[in-house]
Structure 1
């Protein structure tokens, strides 16, 4: 009696059709705009400080008003997704990004620092939470043998936004003489991403209707998110979050200070430094989908994470041991290997989260990981700045490099802890078929399985 119904569900399941690749493209592009505008201030630092008549502290507030609230906001955004639905969440977060970038561009246009700062704050209300929504789409449309590829593709396309910003914003401003024009172009990219969210929501709603999935508010209690479900966030999940914190300090926080680092230690000018910095994300843009497909085929997720954290740590060790000189070629190769390590890590880490938790808490899990990541991105720069200002060797950057090496070592240790615990709990992260192992590991019942388009999506 049950078999025909199951066959019918599979026949109507759009996640088994090529439409899932349209969702992949849309989910990747829905974060493109936010990644493009996030580093607008960094690409235009000198011009912003001159036009708005602000110092370094006021300039850094453009990032602080974004990062520190996002230590908490992604958790709330993930909870919102689990309770209300991902489509409503993605739409709301995208609208906040558009409003925030519009206020930022308008504030700069009229030389109002306060309005520009408010705009960055509003932008921060949606920026990281939209990443949670994008990841949630991937777990809802892609299964274990394609999930890492899908996650890697979203990282790849999003990081192209960062690369594009680094390379075209200074050119636009220098060629037109208008600082706000480049920011308004970023505003248009955000609107484009909002349109992608709307289209993705329509297709996702069609998928749920085909499967007969009901709105979250009509779900039985057993399938709704409840706080006591957080007990399924086990040891491996928390170690993975801690690992995410330290690895992103080693990559993102280093990239934040890399321009001055290369100028002070190796004699590059600002344009050359900017080009070298972009190498990391250019490499990631091309390799993330490739490594995602490799991981989907062979499994061994923890081993890939260990390799990536070791690679990143070795890069910082190389920077530590490289003496000051005038425009050496070595840093270029170092940044290529940093991009290689980051590509592997970003492809594997985010795609590992769904296999460590129950599907109905996926939004909260991604939000928790993103919040912990932002804790590192908020505290890391403060520690780096303190070390650089209070030490003298290599203009303070020797001990900064040492700090990054130690952070990398802690990342290796947390990876080893994840590996040991994974061995003890069935090897879900090492498996080629992690969904099957997960079912026995955390006790997922039939109604919670994701491969039939399960009930943690919402039509509204």
Structure 2
């Protein structure tokens, strides 16, 4: 019996010790899981913090170039004004004679056309170059070219009345066009890499908001600056903003390089870049090409209108000074400045990108009808156009990232920009022809402007047709563009690569 009691006592002690061991083990596992969860949360927070710091500087990349792009639109009277206004008082100088560079309407529209053409020729090759060498190298190179282009453009304005004026300004726009579209591709590629997922449209919307802030400030500030300092120094001021954007390019390049290295993806991205071939273009889907055509026709209505909007408002509607007309024309960018981020959040939340693009195009149709056939205050039309433009841009451009592989985003964006710029360039030329070549006339007949608005309306109608086909093909090919948010997140979780969930800061 004593031996039995001892055995039972030993067994009880052993069981008690085993229970304590299990409790301790469970407690340790719980603590380890808690610590791991907290660590992952900290890492995720660090990753988000890093991404949004990079986003801030990435947004500033195109602030200067967007400010400079539409400076001719704001100063259209000065570009087309007389070389001299002799024997004129300050009062009648502003009403009867505007001293400027002496360009014809066709020469003026050529400034926008050559920008679009150069973009069209260069951006596809630039996209391939970015896919091969990386976004960091691209943004540095293209930012330098933007500075050179804006400086050459400003230099050309000092040669008014000579045969050097137009060639120098065209060379400046050529350099500017060859690099600005390419810089936007590199900028978008960085967004696609760091914000792939539910924040994609939000990041893209914030980027467009900052870029359009440059456009808005141009419409508000440039007329006053020109009155005080003259057209030459105004153009040089725009060049200085491009220099500031160049410094942002250096910061973005460093942050992108350090971030990918911390993620351990630098070697993977390098290996993927080696696999990129220009021949991959032939594998792009019908859905991608319909998306490109939709983008082209929508922007065919926007950009040519903005280029001449200030002059159009002064010619058709009475009582608008140059500065007031610039403010009204700039309302397109004012509205988009306020709405890009909101539109991005809504598109991320709802999904249905192709449907939103179609609705945006349909709602744009009345804008050009009002401009062509009525005398409704132009501010109504420009704000309306800014609203539809915001939702169209927030749904269309991020959709490119969803229908092409990550490694080919540069080429895909380059092709899309090429097609868009070919369309815009041709439209600028057609608008110039429709307005006529009545030398340096400061007043263009209203019926000429009516023809222009009808032409722009035809482009938006074509956009509606293209977006209808886009929705049909997207449904046939799986409906990725029109996925609702929950369904989209489920698909992403099923197909997500391990590298996309890696923390930004790995343990050393």
User: TM-score if structure 2 supplies the norm length?
Assistant: 0.79
2:413 aligns with 366
Cα distance, 1:9–1:74 mapped onto 2, change above 3 Å:
farther
1:251 aligns with 302
Q: Is the 8 A contact 1:133 1:363 kept in 2?
A: yes
2:170 aligns with 117
Listed one character per residue, the Cα deviations across residues 135-188 of structure 1 (whole Å, up to 9, x for unaligned) are 111101102211001111111111111111122122112123x32221222121
For the aligned residue pairs, the C-alpha RMSD in angstroms reads 2.9
2:31 aligns with none
Q: Is the 8 A contact 1:132 1:367 kept in 2?
A: yes
Indicate whether 1:183 and 2:230 are aligned: no
SS at match of 2:204: helix
2:61 aligns with 30
Question: Larger deviation: 151-160 or 55-64?
Answer: 55-64
TM-superposed deviation, 1:39: 1.8
2:183 aligns with 130
TM-superposed deviation, 1:106: 2.8
Indicate whether 1:416 and 2:468 are aligned: yes
SS at match of 1:17: helix
Indicate whether 1:353 and 2:400 are aligned: yes
Listed one character per residue, the Cα deviations across residues 49-95 of structure 1 (whole Å, up to 9, x for unaligned) are 53545444443333233221111211111110111111101110000
Listed one character per residue, the Cα deviations across residues 188-229 of structure 1 (whole Å, up to 9, x for unaligned) are 1111111111111111111111122235895168x7212343
Listed one character per residue, the Cα deviations across residues 381-432 of structure 1 (whole Å, up to 9, x for unaligned) are 2223334449x99523333332222221211111111111111122211222
Structure 2: tracts of 5 or more residues without a match? 1-37, 84-99, 438-443
Distance of 1:430 and 1:61 partners within structure 2: 39
Distance of 2:105 and 2:41 partners within structure 1: 57
Instruction: Please identify the structure whose Cα radius of gyration is greater.
Output: 2
Given candidates 224, 247, 253, the residue that maps to 1:171 is 224
Q: Is the 8 A contact 2:105 2:436 kept in 1?
A: no
Cα distance, 1:274–1:306 mapped onto 2, change above 3 Å:
same
Structure 1: tracts of 5 or more residues without a match? 1-6, 455-460
Listed one character per residue, the Cα deviations across residues 234-260 of structure 1 (whole Å, up to 9, x for unaligned) are 111101110111101111112222223
TM-superposed deviation, 1:321: 3.5
How many aligned positions are there? 437
SS at match of 1:429: coil
SS at match of 1:18: helix
2:52 aligns with 21
Question: Larger deviation: 254-263 or 125-134?
Answer: 254-263
1:3 aligns with none
Cα distance, 1:286–1:56 mapped onto 2, change above 3 Å:
same
Distance of 2:361 and 2:267 partners within structure 1: 41
Once the two structures are superposed, the pairs formed by residues 137-176 of structure 1 within 5 Å of their partners are 137-176=190-229
TM-superposed deviation, 1:287: 0.3
Q: Is the 8 A contact 1:388 1:395 kept in 2?
A: no
SS at match of 1:118: helix
Distance of 2:267 and 2:285 partners within structure 1: 28
Once the two structures are superposed, the pairs formed by residues 66-105 of structure 1 within 5 Å of their partners are 66-105=115-154
Given candidates 311, 323, 328, the residue that maps to 1:271 is 323
